[in-house]
Amino acid sequence: MQLVTEDNITDLAVERWATARDPRLAELMTALVRHLHDFAREVRLTEAEWMAAMQWLTRTGQISDDKRLEFVLASDVLGLSMLVVQMNHRLDPAATPATVLGPFHIAGSPELGFGGDMSDGLPGQPLFVHGTVRDLDGKPVPDAVLDVWQADDEGVYEAQLGEVDEARLRAKYTSREDGTYCVRTIAPKGYTIPMDGPVGDLIGRTEISHFRPAHIHFLLDVPGYEPLITHLFQEGADYLDSDVVFGTKQELVVRFEHRPPGETPDGGTSSEPWVEARYDFVLQRRS
């Protein structure tokens, strides 16, 4: 019988996890064991610190449900989510860059027509986001579904409101034959990530800003093209340089132009001042 020591525990654990029947699982778990053990040795992890970490993970699981994805938030603020996105979406520099999904996306949003209002009377300044969906050659991409969601004027997403039982500030739009699309919503504002859970508790012990700059989420999954999960950020917004989830990219920063009452991009009119943002989504074909 081989006795376990501080010197051989890592090799023994790696040997055991290498028996995973799936080769990729074996690769992942053996690497995880090595890096976890190296981390513990590097920082000389104490028993009290190990227990605090176990309790933090437990609380993170306990606060999570089908609407609150606290582990996703933890991955986001550690930069892991954005690293995984960038490693797995090495797109052409001319294509729209990808960013994180975030913890607040809800599947099954209602479908709206060109310029349909997904704000449905919620307070805020009217915003029209419009442009085209096209490929790298400049050809329009018709029938592209744009899944859109955002926070309200208090920085809260529908997923954070347990009492809401209908779609709120989220919708699906479809590009027309010429690739054009038009989203009507309200101008977003910067907001703080949830600070009432284990992730917020950890952030609160640092000088890290817990704010995100004003943005709107977009998800485009078009047959024949690389899927795209991204944001559009308001030019000049606070926290662009300190986004707590590392999601800001210069190519996604868009000017919001203030317009007087009158004709709007959907072909209608507005009786109140509104805001216009133009952006063309450029998709890359699957290889």
Residues marked as catalytic: 157, 191, 212, 215, 217
| Residues β-bridged to residue 70 | none
Sign of the torsion angle spanned by Cα atoms 26, 30, 35, 40: positive
The phi, psi pair for 173, rounded to 5°, reads -120, 155
Look at residues 241, 236, 281 and name the one whose alpha carbon lies nearest to residue 257: 236
Tell me how far apart the alpha carbons of residues 76 and 126 are, in angstroms, rounded to a whole number: 30
Q: How far apart are CA 67 and CA 85, in angstroms?
A: 22
